Amino acid sequence: MVPLLLVLLLALLLFGAGFALKALWIAAVVVLVFWALGFVMRSAGAGGRRGRWYRW
């Protein structure tokens, strides 16, 4: 009974880690898209002038 519970617990932990890693990859892609859009829009600039594309 104890080995079965350990295997089920391990499967649950691995499933949770896999879901968390997938969620982190999705968040990273969304941030990358927003960064790229900000880079394109700021470097194009209004009136032909080039602005800073970063805020630090």
Instruction: Check: CB of residue 53 under 8 Å from CB of residue 39.
Output: yes
Instruction: Check: CB of residue 11 under 8 Å from CB of residue 3.
Output: no
Instruction: Check: CB of residue 2 under 8 Å from CB of residue 10.
Output: no
Q: Which value, in Å, is the radius of gyration of the alpha carbons in the chain?
A: 22
Taking the domains of the chain in order of start, what are their residue ranges?
A: 1-44
What does the CA dihedral 31, 32, 36, 39 come to, rounded to 10 degrees?
60
Token couple for 2: 């104890």
pTM of the model: 0.58
What pLDDT score was predicted for residue 53? 54
- Ranges under pLDDT 50 in the chain: none
What pLDDT score was predicted for residue 26? 92
